[in-house]
A and B are shown apart, each in its own frame.
Chain A
Amino acid sequence: MSFDLPRTRESVQGDAIEPGRAYGFFTDTTLCIGCKACEVACKEWNQLPAEQEAMSGMSYDNTRELSATTWRHVAFVEQMDGAAGNADPRWLMMSDVCKHCDPAPCLEACPTGAIFRTEFDSVVVQQDVCNGCGYCVPACPFGVVDVDEVDGKAHKCTLCYDRLKGGREPACAQVCPTDSIQFGPLDELIDRAHERTRALHDRGETDAYLYGVPDSPGATGGIEKLNAFFLLCDRPEIYNLPAAPTLPSRRIAPAFGASLAAFAGLAIAAAALLGGGRR
């Protein structure tokens, strides 16, 4: 049986999705209207179960966080006194997703090789390899990947690996009615994002900045870039993002080295004591 659906990216937008090229998301939060179509499209395409049990009571955000079965999450921030030095109330909305980091902390931590980098430069968990050790979970600096209690495997956004292979853009990007979620080749997206930031600055929205492009907040501490990056208008923490995440593997040498050195020091002391005063 063949599942040759039309390669819509090529037929509609005229640019084919080619293996060997880096792709990603540019999520422009100034365009997000909080409709959550991305959350729904993601669940539909990836056949993920609903998990909302109750209203959060904190805002229009009842999803609250990304999880093993929620791979897009629309954050909703209500600032009644507006931005700093500005009295107008404002709403900030952001569709959060796995950042497909480069290099990726979860991938570096995975001991089975279940997490790998695809031909589209995205980061994917192979479900037939993961053994549920759970080490990728505390490794991720963004609280994205999680192990599902039901099937005992780690899950997260795949950048719609299956759709990319079929020449279609990810479901969330395709469904987003305002193009707040933009999918495309990374180099083009980054250029477009810088242009957009400048345009916003010219219009007086000087709070706008990019999170996750090279040399910006989010792309810090050994993480060179986030293939899914964002345009934000306030501190990263407001959107539940760390300002300066670091690559966890950088701490292996100091921790292991110091521990071995301390062990060696104690061993030298022990060698003296255990001889029992004999020469």
Chain B
Amino acid sequence: MTRQDRHTLRDWRGETYYGQQALKYPHWDWKVSGYIAVAGTAGAAQALATLGSLRDPEGLRAARRGARLMALAGSTAGAAMLIADLKTPQRFHNMLRILRPTSPMSFGTYIFGAFGGASLFSAFAEGPAVGRRHLLRWLGKAAQLVSGFSGAGVATYTAALVSATSNPYWAAAPRSLGGQFAGVAVAMGAAALALWERLGGRDATARRFEKVAAIATLAHVGASTAVNKRLKECGVSQPIEHSKPQRRLKASSLIIAGAAPLVGYALSAALGGRAGRNAAMAGSCAALAGGMLMRHGLLEAGKAAREQPESGFALAQPMKGDDDGH
């Protein structure tokens, strides 16, 4: 304040403008949360399978095949959902007019595009026609590598997509939310591959993926706790916690995405045999369903913040929005 006498604002006492919304909220619906879940699962599965086949190419051959198919299915479904969610879908290609590093929606399109292209190649290389043709097999491996790397990007950039907004619920805890997004994606990708292995009767390799899913589940439960703590500190969560559907959504996703897979995998290890197999598969299904629910819950919580202008104002107090270390 150079030319103006310094004026200090009196303290904010929680006033709003007649409770009117102060921010606008996205018109996004389940198609966007569905995209985040499906593309994240496919990306993480491809990354895990790439890593796994570097360590144990023989044992994880079938898993790699599964991941390649999942990546193809996930990127196709994801692209369809993203385009369908545009309000002027016939102009979807305008996304490719520019590349803007300040917009996760922009650079994310390119990460997802690279993933989709490489996944198409890697899935093609699984086709029967490829057989012993060396060049194609080699190309398939290269595509797998690209797809695995960009898959990690697809699973994680979505954290920036939601954090880099002015929505208080999404913006308050970028770092912890980043951890949560990675954890959920890896848990879902590993659970999907574990199911694939179980269904193919390869219990030994399935158990490896279940261990990965369990660790990732622990990671995202931890990250979610950090997110919630930060939201509370910023005064962002209280208004949303007053909404019953929001509370219910949050609790059910914690149970289904957090507790159920862990219990399922623990039971599987304790019981063994047929019952153990069923418990593990139930755990993997819960991880997938719970992951979807968490993605959708975050979208809905962001929209619900609309009724609560206080939460946006609380985050936009000096020093609060400037996130340091969370």
Residues of A within 8 A of B (CB): 56, 58-59, 61, 64-65, 75, 77, 84, 105, 108-114, 129-135, 137-147, 149, 151-153, 191, 194, 197-198, 201, 206, 208-210, 213, 215-217, 220-221, 235-246, 248-252, 254-267, 269-271, 273-276, 278
Residues of B within 8 A of A (CB): 1-5, 7, 9-10, 12, 15-18, 20-28, 44, 47-48, 51-52, 54-56, 59-60, 85-89, 91-92, 94-95, 97-98, 100, 102-106, 109, 152-153, 155-157, 159-160, 162-167, 170-171, 174-179, 181-183, 185-186, 190, 204-205, 208-209, 211-212, 215-216, 219, 223, 302, 309, 312-313, 316-323
Taking a contact as CB atoms under 8 Å apart, the answer to whether A260 and B56 are in contact is no
Q: Which residues of A contact B25 (CB under 8 A)?
A: 137-138
A237 in complex: contacting residue of B12, B28, B181, B219, CB < 8 Å: B12
Taking a contact as CB atoms under 8 Å apart, the answer to whether B152 and A267 are in contact is yes
B215 in complex: contacting residue of A61, A198, A243, A266, CB < 8 Å: A266
B179 in complex: contacting residue of A151, A221, A244, A258, CB < 8 Å: A258
Taking a contact as CB atoms under 8 Å apart, the answer to whether A209 and B9 are in contact is yes
Taking a contact as CB atoms under 8 Å apart, the answer to whether B316 and A235 are in contact is no
Taking a contact as CB atoms under 8 Å apart, the answer to whether A262 and B178 are in contact is yes
Taking a contact as CB atoms under 8 Å apart, the answer to whether A143 and B190 are in contact is no
Please count the residue pairs between chain A and chain B whose beta carbons lie under 8 angstroms apart in the complex. Answer: 312
Taking a contact as CB atoms under 8 Å apart, the answer to whether A135 and B163 are in contact is no
Distance, CA A216 to CA B2, complexed state (A): 10
Q: Which residues of B contact A256 (CB under 8 A)?
A: 104, 156-157, 159-160, 178
Closest-by-CB residue of A relative to B10 is: A84
B166 in complex: contacting residue of A129, A140, A191, A254, CB < 8 Å: A140
Q: Which residues of A contact B15 (CB under 8 A)?
A: 235, 237-238
Taking a contact as CB atoms under 8 Å apart, the answer to whether B23 and A255 are in contact is no
Taking a contact as CB atoms under 8 Å apart, the answer to whether B102 and A138 are in contact is no
Distance, CA A108 to CA B164, complexed state (A): 10
Taking a contact as CB atoms under 8 Å apart, the answer to whether B179 and A274 are in contact is no
Distance, CA A110 to CA B20, complexed state (A): 26
Distance, CA A270 to CA B44, complexed state (A): 11
Q: Which residues of A contact B204 (CB under 8 A)?
A: 276
Distance, CA A2 to CA B160, complexed state (A): 48
Q: Which residues of B contact A133 (CB under 8 A)?
A: 85-87, 95, 105
Report B156 CB to chain A, min CB distance, Å.
4
Taking a contact as CB atoms under 8 Å apart, the answer to whether B12 and A263 are in contact is no
Contact A278 B55, CB 8 Å, known A129-B97, A255-B163? yes
Distance, CA A265 to CA B179, complexed state (A): 10
Taking a contact as CB atoms under 8 Å apart, the answer to whether B23 and A201 are in contact is no
Taking a contact as CB atoms under 8 Å apart, the answer to whether B12 and A141 are in contact is no
Taking a contact as CB atoms under 8 Å apart, the answer to whether B182 and A143 are in contact is no
Closest-by-CB residue of A relative to B14 is: A237
Taking a contact as CB atoms under 8 Å apart, the answer to whether A270 and B178 are in contact is no
Closest-by-CB residue of A relative to B305 is: A138
Q: Which residues of B contact A235 (CB under 8 A)?
A: 9-10, 12, 15
Contacts beyond the supplied A134-B28, A240-B20, A263-B152: 7 A-B pairs with Cβ under 8 Å: A109-B165, A111-B103, A197-B4, A244-B316, A248-B166, A258-B179, A259-B160
Contact A243 B323, CB 8 Å, known A65-B21, A112-B97, A258-B179? no
Taking a contact as CB atoms under 8 Å apart, the answer to whether A244 and B156 are in contact is no
Contact A274 B55, CB 8 Å, known A220-B318, A244-B320, A262-B179? yes
Taking a contact as CB atoms under 8 Å apart, the answer to whether B163 and A254 are in contact is yes
Taking a contact as CB atoms under 8 Å apart, the answer to whether A259 and B156 are in contact is yes
A139 in complex: contacting residue of B166, B309, B312, CB < 8 Å: B166
Report A119 CB to chain B, min CB distance, Å.
19
B4 in complex: contacting residue of A198, A255, A270, CB < 8 Å: A198
